[in-house]
Structure 1
Amino acid sequence: MNIKATKIIKGTLAFIATLLVLYGARFLWQNYSVAMPLNSGLKSINGVQNVVLEKPSKIYEPIIINISLNNISNFQKTYAEINEKAIQALKGKAYKINIKDTGSDELEKLYSDISIYIEKALIDGSFPSLVEKSDAIAKSIGGESKINIDSKYIYLHITKNDKSLYKLIPRQTQKAGDLK
């Protein structure tokens, strides 16, 4: 081999080694400074059964946090704790929380029946009526519905037997022309 080919091979190998070190460091940083603290923080919350993180393929995409809940008494409080732990662990990085439930077709139908009253409450502010109607509809099938409301969301938790359905409904709807 001539000297020029040897230099090209050495340069290429050095470049590949540098890339491997950089990607390895990024992987370790992602696991030990983001994923593990977030995972352990979320699992410490009462009612959080399982946490699965989906890492984005692009830098500007949010981290997807999939959470399975089990036997919680207050969805609003649990969601607030989850959100707080995510903010602490991710330190300003974009994220999206997906709540996984143990819902059934029957609970989905129940949610569909209640959603009309949710839309009405969002339009005219009739939240007490929403709570009454959802309780009546849930009791008609032997279930239970719990609704909590704050300035950002309506938290709906429907249960029947060992099945639970969690819905987080934004109170502010996106207006035409808004980019979010």
Structure 2
Amino acid sequence: MNFKRDNRLAFVIALAVTVATLVAGQLLWQKYAVARPLDSGLQGIAGVTAASWDESKNGDITINVTLGGVDNFAKTYGEIGETAKTILGKRPARINLVDSRTPELETLFHAVHFHLQEAVATGNFSAMAERVDAKARAAGADATMYVDARNVYLRLTRGGASLYAVVPRPEAAAREVK
């Protein structure tokens, strides 16, 4: 009788030690195999002033990147995405850009957003550039735009404030599904 109780106690202790070891291993792996390489990789990208990330309960990762003065926004955004993909592999991640936007820049962005969406739909990016640039100058701001196969990138600056926006091109998503 006493032997059965001792076996159960040994089983419970072994189970607790196993679970504790697995949890500790997972936390160490997360810290040394994901967190540190991701943080140092993102900090090494020109124009990135700060980076952090959060993992949701379903495993999705949100990478928060604070941008300072960026010479080529499209290149910087691409480097952020490649760094995340290299470290995270196939785990889903979303890049959240943190900038120094002001209410005036947000108002300007909402005013030019229609031109961005129209260009994405029609492919007329030169007209978009002219219209966005004209509205930015009228608001006392500077607009820098980039277009690649996946996205349209917009940087609005006024004084020391900046607003960064990425508008996905739907046909790029359709090409990637194939």
What TM-score do the two structures reach when normalised by structure 2? 0.90
Tell me the amino acid that sits aligned with residue 172 of structure 1: P
Q: Is the 8 A contact 2:102 2:161 kept in 1?
A: yes
Q: Which residue of 2 aligns with 1:54?
A: 54
- Count of residue pairs the alignment pairs up: 174
Shift of 1:131: 0.7
Which of 94, 97, 100 is matched with 1:96 structurally? Answer: 94
Alignment-derived partner of residue 109 in structure 1: 107
CA RMSD of aligned residues (A): 2.0
Q: Which amino acid aligns with 2:141?
A: G
Query: Could you say what secondary structure the match of 1:155 adopts?
Result: strand
CA–CA separation in structure 1 for the residues paired with 2:122 and 2:45: 35
Give the deviation of 1:173 after TM superposition. Answer: 6.8
Query: Normalized per residue, which structure has more helix?
Result: 2
Any unmatched runs of 5+ in structure 2?
Answer: none
Contact 2:144 2:154 (8 Å CA) reproduced = yes
Percent identity between matched residues is 33
Q: TM-score scaled to structure 1, two decimals?
A: 0.89
One of 125, 129, 142 as aligned partner of 1:144:
142
Query: Retained in 1: the 8 A contact 2:149–2:172?
Result: no
Q: Note the C-alpha offset of 1:160.
A: 0.7
Q: Does 1:123 align with 2:158?
A: no
Question: Hey, what does 2:16 align to over in structure 1?
Answer: 16
